[in-house]
Amino acid sequence: MSPIELNKRQEEILRIVKGNGPITGEQIAERLHLTRATLRPDLAILTMAGFLDARPRVGYFYSGKKPGHDVTDTMNNMKVKDFQSIPVVVRENVSVYDAISQMFLDDVGTLFVVDKNSLLTGVLSRKDLLRTSIGSQDLTAIPVHIIMTRMPNITYCFKADSLIQVANRLINQQIDALPVVEELSNGLKVVGRITKTNITRAFLSLSESHEL
């Protein structure tokens, strides 16, 4: 069983919380001249590993406990909500040409397609768009709903799912990204994006460190 290892930033956070807790994530971020979003994975790891406790509306405080979790426990506790990215969505009637532009503009490899109520209807990958582009068709005349992978064949996840579950789905389905959704009465609202990059980042945040 390997003990959890912390990286420099996580140690810095521990030092701040030890000296100033209870302290909010926002305040920790200010002291480190970083954004709250940047710190989210580190705070999640420190909380899950038992170094910090978090109370809603109070903040983080040092638990003083010896970490009882090993790396496997910590990984199982890593949740989508702590590592997800902002989703990039397009409407169903957008042209393939515009979807390709959108992919470059937002620097993503997967677009999620939504209807007029912003509910998930499809997914577009790079190869979906490439496949269409190698025909001799006018890309400005083809709406993305013709070529997208559509519901109900979309693999998705929820904020509370573990990253391990997501990683399993990405590997088993041989896909690069999952939409993070919330279930509404009339469909699925897209609230985030989890890609192989997020998983790799989470993996790094566990490993780019030295033993405590």
Nearer to ligand ADP, 16 or 147 (CB): 147
Q: Tell which positions 155-174 bind ligand ADP, by CB under 6 A.
A: 155, 174
**CA-to-CA distance for 41 and 57, rounded, in angstroms?**
19
Closer to ligand ADP by CB, 28 or 178: give it. Answer: 178
| Residue 204 φ/ψ, nearest 5 degrees | -65, -40
Residue 42 contacts ligand ADP per CB under 6 A: no
Q: Toward ligand ADP, which CB reaches closer, 37 or 105?
A: 105
How far apart (Å, rounded) are the C-alpha atoms in residues 200 and 59? Answer: 28
| From 69-77, 100-108, 153-161, 200-208, span contacting ligand ADP (CB under 6 A) | 153-161
68 neighbors 50 (Cβ within 8 angstroms):
yes
Q: Which amino acid is at 199?
A: I
Residue closer to ligand ADP, measured from CB, 140 or 174: 174
Binding mask 93-132 for ligand ADP (x = CB under 6 A): -----------------x------------x-xxxx----
Please answer whether residues 171 and 195 qualify as being in contact, where contact means their C-beta atoms are separated by less than 8 angstroms.
no
Q: What is the C-alpha radius of gyration for the chain, rounded to an integer number of angstroms?
A: 20
